[in-house]
């Protein structure tokens, strides 16, 4: 894993994303995690799969554009979303899943909102659908995909993933 800081954000993102078309969006996500979670952020190399079993519980938001539509997700086995919610909201509600999904939902809205604004400035119009907090089986049944790009992250030692679902 690579520690991500303001100074190396672009370099680490490009290295981990290996030229993916989602590199810029991943950089926005990592930027917001560094800025708003107030914990050390680490990232590992992206990997791709078509295995539906790799889709776990998490928070998902679909972006829809004329040329591309996909989901950005923040997924984990609970601990990663707790770290995001705690850092973003500046509060600790360890077992309050309504708080955790609301705080991490606001975070994903900010990530995607800023990204959509930057894309609009480049001439690409995109819309955001409402975010979904889905458990593992529900995510696998509701989200159709061809490929899932996984970016393993660590937030203050809590493991999670940023996923792009196409």
Question: For the whole model, what pTM was predicted?
Answer: 0.89
Q: What is the pLDDT of residues 87-108, one digit of tens each?
A: 666 666 656 777 777 777 888 8
Which residues, including other chains, have CB under 8 Å from residue 37's CB and lie 6 or more apart?
83, 84, 86, 87, 88, 155, 156
Tell me what pLDDT residue 58 has: 87
Q: Which domain holds residue 152?
A: 2-165
- Phi and psi at 5, nearest 5°, equal -130, 170
Q: How many domains does the chain have?
A: 1
Which residues, including other chains, have CB under 8 Å from residue 96's CB and lie 6 or more apart?
none
Q: Read off the CATH number of the domain in which 91 is found.
A: 3.40.1550.10
Tell me what pLDDT residue 127 has: 96
For the cut 60, the answer to whether the pLDDT of residue 133 exceeds it is yes
Q: What is the pLDDT of residues 18-55, one digit of tens each?
A: 889 999 999 999 998 888 877 889 999 999 999 999 99
């Amino acid at each position: 894993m690579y520690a991500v800081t303001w100074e190396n954000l672009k370099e680490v993102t490009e290295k981990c994303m290996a030229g993916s078309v989602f590199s810029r969006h991943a950089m926005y996500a990592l930027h917001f995690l560094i800025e708003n979670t107030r914990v050390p952020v680490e990232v590992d190399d992206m990997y791709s799969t078509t295995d539906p079993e790799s889709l776990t519980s998490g928070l998902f938001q679909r972006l829809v554009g004329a040329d591309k539509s996909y989901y950005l997700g923040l997924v984990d086995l609970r601990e990663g979303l707790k770290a995001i919610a705690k850092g973003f909201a500046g509060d600790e509600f360890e077992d309050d899943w309504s708080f955790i999904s609301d705080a991490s939902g606001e975070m994903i809205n900010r990530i995607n909102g800023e990204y959509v604004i930057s894309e609009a400035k480049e001439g690409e119009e995109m819309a955001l659908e409402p975010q979904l907090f889905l458990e593992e089986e529900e995510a696998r049944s509701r989200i159709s995909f061809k490929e899932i790009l996984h970016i393993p992250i660590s937030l203050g030692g809590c493991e999670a993933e940023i996923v792009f679902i196409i």
